[in-house]
Amino acid sequence: MKTSKKLLAILPALALVAASCGGSDDNSSEGSTDTAASVDSAAPAATDAPEEVDQTQGGDLTFHMITHSDDGPFWSVLKRGADAAAADLGVTLVWKPGVNDAQVMVQDIEAAIAEGSDGIAASLPDPDALVGPLQSAVGAGVPVITLNSGSNDYQEIGALTHVGQSEVIAGNGAGQRFNDAGATKILCGQQEQGNVALTERCEGLAETFSGEVVIEFMGLDADTSEQQNTINAALAADTDIDGFMGVGPVITLSGLRAAQDLSRDLTIGGFDLTPELIGEIEAGNIAFTVDQQQYLQGYMPVLLLFLNVTNQNTLGGGLPILTGPGFVTPDNAAEILALSEVGTR
């Protein structure tokens, strides 16, 4: 039988996934091209050309990626990963950014179901609003994968898996780094209200940090001037604060600028990547940032939906597929910066 060209094209990606999960499947297909010869002398001579498997659902697939994206620097990298997967697999990807509005996401999910989507990948910043519509998608026979935020709720939806990081564990790691730096009181600044993933980052920080954590909304990334001024005011009002953690890359830089305005020597940590943020780490102005590898959060759901629809494959074994946390520090900032500048980190 011929092997599908599309399936062959994704085998390297599957090998990468297997390696990242620590597996080493060495099963071979010895003899697969040397099938038993026919004893009928009248049979036509065998040829070296492999036969072709016609994947009945392999063509003309349309997947929807519905997120709370604001198309900022974090999400642009995630979208680049999703677009790359769609191009590699020859499928159509419909990108729907909700701009931090769960009701817009609900409408987009409902529209995708009505359009007969072949698969939905969705973030879950507001489970109360989004679990129900995604359950409806599964009930309508549309495979669903959650990404970025949703690690606590994807099983309730009936999603195939979740692609992202454990936000609490990521916050735990950040807390330990602040301990190592000698901080005693941290302002954990959030750039969105009602996003459970951001709250979990701060809560995870508080679990392992030996000092005090103040958790506050500091303004949206869309207005960095207001965001910086809000952080500045919070720092000025509490001179005991000697650490700042931003739960996104833009607000982390706003925290750095606010501290510089006040000539405050703070230990600063962040979440996620932009070239500017990594440059500040390389310069020693920011201690670290948590890297959840958002390019993978875009690429992998498209790949996994494709494999499920065309080959009934699943990954994760009922557990989420973790893309982080990793940490960017002055030790590895230069290498990560080079990748960030080309848009894949």
The per-residue pLDDT for range 285-339, each reduced to its tens digit, is 999 999 999 999 999 999 999 999 999 999 999 999 999 999 999 999 999 999 9
The domain 167-291 is placed in CATH, from the list 3.20.20.70, 3.40.50.300, 3.40.50.720, 3.40.50.2300, at 3.40.50.2300
Which of 33-37, 44-48, 181-185, 265-269 is the least confident region? 33-37
Span 231-286, pLDDT tens digits? 999 999 999 999 999 999 999 999 999 999 999 999 999 999 999 999 999 999 99
Distance CA 142, CA 198 (A): 28
Distances (CA, A) of 307 to 8, 82, 313: 12, 15, 5
Q: Across all residues in the chain, what is the average pLDDT?
A: 87
**Domain coordinates in residue numbering, the chain:** 11-17+57-166+293-324, 167-291
pLDDT at residue 52, as a whole number: 45
CB atoms under 10 Å from CB of 173, counted, come to 18
Task: Evaluate if pTM is beyond 0.85.
Answer: no
Domains 11-17+57-166+293-324 and 167-291 agree in fold: yes
Alpha carbons 117 and 137: distance in angstroms, whole number: 9
Q: What is the pLDDT of residue 10?
A: 55
Q: How far apart are CA 287 and CA 280, in angstroms?
A: 9
Residue 194 is predicted with a pLDDT of 86
Architecture, CATH, for domain 11-17+57-166+293-324: 3-Layer(aba) Sandwich (3.40)
The two tokens of residue 233 are 């005011």
